[in-house]
Amino acid sequence: MSIEVSETPAQFSAREERQKAGQPAHWLHSKPTEFHNPWPSFRSNQLPGFKDAVTMLPYMFSMLTNSSSVLPDKETVAKIPIQKPTWGAADSKLVAENAQKIKATWLGHACFLVELPSTTAGVRGPRILFDPVFSDRCSPNQWMGPKRYTPAPCALEDIPEIDAIVISHNHYDHMDTTSLTNLLARTPAPHVFAPLGNESYFEGLHIPASRAHCLDWWDARCVTSAAASPTTFDITFTPGQHFTGRGLRDRFKSLWGGWVVESSSSPQNADTPTPPARIYFGGDTGYRSVPSDTDDGPDTLPVCPAFKQIGAHFASGFDFAMIPIGAYQPRRAMSPVHCAPRDSVALFQDIRARRALGMHWGAWFLTTEHALEPPRLLKEECKKKGIEEGAFGVCGIGETVVFEVGGAAAAGKVE
């Protein structure tokens, strides 16, 4: 399989304009060596400090030692459906590769395998793997740190041929060295797309720069894969509100964000003409900074403007979005960088998504909310906003969900 990556025509034509604009607002220096969230919706002084560490000490101890004192019990875990992925092959309607459907398989936490619609019978569509973490612990090592309370639904070897691996940021629950080393050693070899600041990381894995693409916000690339139909798709790195760091000295030294993937429209002589598909992957993000742990703050709190910018830029909306809904308690410490379901629903509306699945829950015990609270609150918040049932929900780990391309945005009240 031959994969080629180039600048999109839009990025090429806008390069001079971006250079004239000078230092981007999210760069702290004239060169991209350190980053920040350039909006009032982010308050760095609310990130976890000593007081929060004391409050969360029992939970932190439990994560480090795998104690069962505050981890989800067996009855709770049993309520999270898990199955071995079929990648849609079990559905006779999807066996035809040109079914004009987006196929999304949730592999737990923030990991999805998405196959875009094919335009040729008998040939698969482009496949993109987001934030693959298959290790037992999301930690610098496998003897201490947060341990899975639900297993990965399959082995790395079970994942079918992929064209691209996409990384949202470098936290251990999103960027796993063991998983990436395995996947990037495959033949045929996928390319990997990650934020600025991760160049040396991939060099350390002996991945050539020609296969590891580290991008800035709004950078876009065209990917051509001879094994897929359509053969090309575009991928754009988009802003989000978060932070990075894998050790004590690298906080904010690499970038973070979400990703947009757009397939090419089918050629005139295609077996089944299809409109281009567009998907959004939110990675890990906050939406606003809530100043209290006891309430969710006033409606007048500043919200991250990046998501409405994304919605305006991709004005026809998204056929499918993957949006984080978990790891949000305690709110004062976590809200600047993690969406609660209320924020997730607002983000869904801001980007003009038609359908979405919630992620960033159900795998590791990272914060203090009950394991099943995120999907329950998501359902409640969607109902409050008048979003039609099923437009934004959750699925089982290992389940493949299909989405139509095109159509109207999900109805709902936007405030």
Residue ranges of the annotated binding site are: 172, 338
**What would the two tokens of residue 357 be?**
């699945």
DSSP secondary structure code for residue 156 in this structure: G
Distance CA 11, CA 116 (A): 22
Is 377 exposed, middle or buried (CB count within 10 Å of its CB: 0-12, 13-18, 19+)? buried
Distance CA 360, CA 285 (A): 10
Pairing state between β 127-130 and 164-166: parallel
**What would the two tokens of residue 12 be?**
């090429």
Cis peptide upstream of residue 298 (ω within 30 degrees of 0): no
What is residue 149's three-state secondary structure? coil
**What would the two tokens of residue 354 be?**
């038609």
* Closest C-alpha to 293, from 42, 51, 60: 51
Q: Please give the single-letter amino acid code of residue 349.
A: Q
**What would the two tokens of residue 396 be?**
């089982």
Neighbours of 208 (CB within 10 A): 9
Distance CA 267, CA 248 (A): 51
Neighbours of 114 (CB within 10 A): 24
Question: What angle separates helix 373-384 from helix 341-350, to the nearest 10 degrees?
Answer: 50
What sign does the dihedral 73-286-331-346 (CA atoms) show?
negative
